[in-house]
Amino acid sequence: MSQKTAKYRKDYKAPDFTIDTVDLTVELDPVNTRVTSTMVVRRQGNHQQPLELDGEGLTLESVSIDSESIPEQQYTVTDQQLTITTDKEHFTLTVVNSINPRDNKALEGLYLADGTYCTQCEAEGFRRITYYLDRPDVLAKFTTTIIADKQSYPFVLANGNLIKQSEEGDKRIAVWEDPFPKPSYLFALVAGDFDVLRDTFTTREGREVKLELFVDKGNLDRSDHAMTSLKNAMKWDEERFGLVYDLDIYMIVAVDFFNMGAMENKGLNVFNAKYVLANPRTATDQDFLNVESVIGHEYFHNWTGNRITCRDWFQLSLKEGLTVFRDQEFSSDLGSRAVNRIQDVKIIRSHQFTEDAGPMAHPIRPDKVLEMNNFYTVTVYNKGAEVIRMLHTLLGEEGFQRGMKCYVERHNGQAVTCEDFVAAMEAANGADFSQFRRWYSQAGTPQVKATVDYDNDNKQLVVSLRQHTPATPGQETKQPFHIPVKLSALNPAGEVIQLTDTVLELTETEQDFRVSGAFTDKLTAQQQPVVSLFDNFSAPVKVEREISRDELRTLMAFAPDPVSRWDASQQLFATLIHEAVAKETTVQVDADTVQACRELLNSDTDPALIALALTLPNIATLADSYSVIPVEKLRHNLKRLKRHLAESLEDSIRERYQQLSAELDSNGYQLQGQDIARRQLRNTLLSYLAEVETESDWFIERYRQTDNMTDSLALLQATVWTQHQQAQPLLTLFDEQWRGEKLVMDKWFQTQALADSSNTVEAVQKLMEHPDFTLDNPNRVYSLLAAFTQNVAQFHRVDGAGYRLVGQVIRQLNDSNPQVASRLLSAFVSWRRYDADRQALMKQELEQLRALPGLASDLFEKVENSLAA
């Protein structure tokens, strides 16, 4: 295939034409779907440029203007475009083309999979359905007529409200009208046979909205939680943001074949089934929380993404960063704010920091795009959310909501930019965020070097901060960021010291701050305060600071901010491992650290917070401290640290485990916050017990007693990940119990792919032959192959077997689903951060991909950037 040409944000110009309305008729057929598109087109500006419509994989049948066919010399067709020459200023264009949904394995545009017609149009999939101005700044009102076999496809759905339905012979005809102008990426069409869960929601305006949730036959018992989550999201958005739903119906369809997590198409959200289907037998607590989060995320897009959309794809974080922030707040308001925030931070540290340090580093608003699919990244989404959160920190809740109100009032119904959002925040609050805008334009993770001293004479903290951001591709030098620094202070006994300033604003390369507080009330003459910086992870930065183990243990036990308590435990564990690596010894755990862990374990703190604090940092997070990642040393010391803590704390772990089991088992499974937290701690302790448990049949007996997937999976993972003798019997039992249940078996695949075992590569190869595995389904690929690439020790096995395995799969997917192949390729992009032998092996795979005939643009961009880094 021909490679795409790079586009630059600076070159943006409004389209020469726009489209006001679209009447789309889709006659569904597995291999010859006929699409008739009638568009009202307007020329914009004084020019005589031809109309250039995007189109890929289409067979053109006819073109007419104002109901008259135009001669062939008036238009040209390539494999990427339909170009029409006309001098008309305003006209009706009708294009008829055909497509083959059954052979569409890329799952972009309109495709037929597992007996269901489905669409995925973001970012540039609509051009695979019909010829169109496939860009987000062309907003049109769509009316969609779907014609399908009535026996095979009882449900035919599209955006908006159903205005007409009829039958003609063996055909069902449904007409859907979306009253709100939208870009083509928000178009959706689904046809299939489903079970349907129906409900209603009454808006604060008193309008009743029909809610419909479509799932595969037999899955209705797994859909209640998704419906509850949707109603909670609608209510929350009204109460927290004042935003009300605007159509008569809201539909969600769960499908198994889907590249993404979900899609916010106006009024018809298409979801990967894993983010809809959940009951206690088949889904873990985390699955339930993920369903709630993603249901909320796509619903919140109705305003932050649909009613106000992106001017161009460089502005993707305008909708995604903001909506991720909104779904994070939704989850935090409904659940544990501390636990949700820690999970957010873990994603940034283990994934986004790595992306910032690699050859694909980009700002949250990129300046250059070759393949847009490659920019659906943790930087655009999760770092984008952190940037929104910093605005919230600087403005407070009231100021942020004033800014949101201004943003909605100014831009409802428009396609706008990140600049428009920041400008609304400024206008509503009389603020100046000129410097803050650098978060949108500069790539990389700022590194803040901090020193904290106590001026005993003046009773003040002296906080000295210096920021530096390393060079990233295309950006050698960086200007200082505007960084909010939340802080708090304790005395050595753990009592909180009230400070006059709790948020410092770092805006210079070097800055000193003096902070007063009630030090005389809490400190003796000889004592020094214990200071926590970047409470609640107030900015996505790396902090370099000399802090003693005693101070970390104090923060771990008493910090008023729960994120800082967790962070102190992670720093403490990381310090032990880094010291062992530096000295080329095996990690040693001092008695004070063991005692701090024991006190935490026995405390009355939120059990989920204890679980997170006792969970060791993973290799990916630890690796961020090294220019050349010492894979074996990190692996060895992590294993040794886990074992040492398990042995040292065994009595306390068993006692707390039994206490939690007694509390949980007496009432059976309940999906409520306190029980979720208890299960999280119990299963964290289980992972430690697996290190020391020698009774051969304990795990099997416990597995047979479980009444929920959370506990069943925890037992399976504990044995597999410690290579316990009961691992294989449990794997066999799980397979026999759940074979054929696709989403459940994904957990089985993933558990084995993440096992740090010398034969994991061979196990993954064998699992690819399992009846429940197929490369055609993204969920299967993600659960097995993508999970394996996160297994740092085994993917980077010194003989290169991991690289060869994944490289071969990427080559296979290049021809069928390059978007999924590109996600697997991400594991190779930081190849220069490994030792020379591994570099050579990874480079060899990249060069083989570069030489591949017909290399897809999704892969071409990453391969070229990686090799050129």
| HEC sequence for 574-613 | HHHHHHHHHHCCCCCCCHHHHHHHHHHHCCCCCHHHHHHH
Report how far apart the first and last C-alpha atoms of the chain are (Å, whole number): 24
What does the DSSP assignment read for 822-843?
A: HHHHGGGTTGGGS-HHHHHHHH
Q: Contact, 576 vs 549, CB < 8 A? A: no
Q: Contact, 378 vs 348, CB < 8 A? A: yes
Distance of CA 553 to the CA centre of its chain: 32
Q: Which of 577, 571, 584 is nearest to 542 (CA)?
A: 571
Q: Where are the beta strands (DSSP E) in 752-847?
A: none
Residue-wise burial string across 783-811, b where 16 or more C-beta atoms lie within 10 A, e elsewhere? bbbbbbbbbbbbbbbeebbbbbbbbebbb
Q: Which two tokens stand for residue 132?
A: 């169109």
Q: Contact, 832 vs 629, CB < 8 A? A: no
Q: Which residues have C-beta within 8 Å of that of residue 556, sequence separation ≥ 6?
A: 565, 568, 569, 572, 596, 600, 613
Q: Which residues have C-beta within 8 Å of that of residue 694, sequence separation ≥ 6?
A: none
Q: 195: buried, middle or exposed (CB in 10 Å: 19+, 13-18, 0-12)?
A: middle
CA separation, residue 685 to residues 289, 468, 659 (Å): 21, 39, 12
Rounded distance between C-alpha atoms, residue 631 and residue 798, angstroms: 10
Let me know the angle formed at the C-alpha of 212 by 206 and 215, rounded to the nearest 5 degrees.
160
Rounded distance between C-alpha atoms, residue 264 and residue 299, angstroms: 7
Rounded distance between C-alpha atoms, residue 387 and residue 539, angstroms: 8
Identify the DSSP state of 282.
Answer: T
Q: Contact, 239 vs 222, CB < 8 A? A: no
- Which residue, chain included where needed, has tokens 């079970």? 195
| HEC sequence for 191-215 | EECCEEEEEEEECCCCCEEEEEEEE
Rounded distance between C-alpha atoms, residue 772 and residue 745, angstroms: 7
549 φ, ψ to 5°? -65, -35
Q: Which of 346, 527, 368, 540 is nearest to 444 (CA)?
A: 540
- Which residue, chain included where needed, has tokens 């969970």? 615
Catalytic residue among 108, 124, 212, 298: 298
Helix (H, G, I), strand (E, B) or coil at 679: helix
Rounded distance between C-alpha atoms, residue 763 and residue 768, angstroms: 9
Q: Is 61 a catalytic residue?
A: no
Q: Where are the beta strands (DSSP E) in 370-459?
A: 415-416, 447-455
Q: Which of 330, 301, 309, 319 is nearest to 239 (CA)?
A: 330
The DSSP H or E segment spanning 189 is strand 189-192
CA separation, residue 285 to residues 220, 282, 666, 689 (Å): 19, 10, 18, 21
Q: Which of 713, 730, 833 is nearest to 783 (CA)?
A: 713
- Which residue, chain included where needed, has tokens 């209510």? 235
Sign of the four-CA dihedral 855, 861, 862, 863: positive
Residues with catalytic function? 298
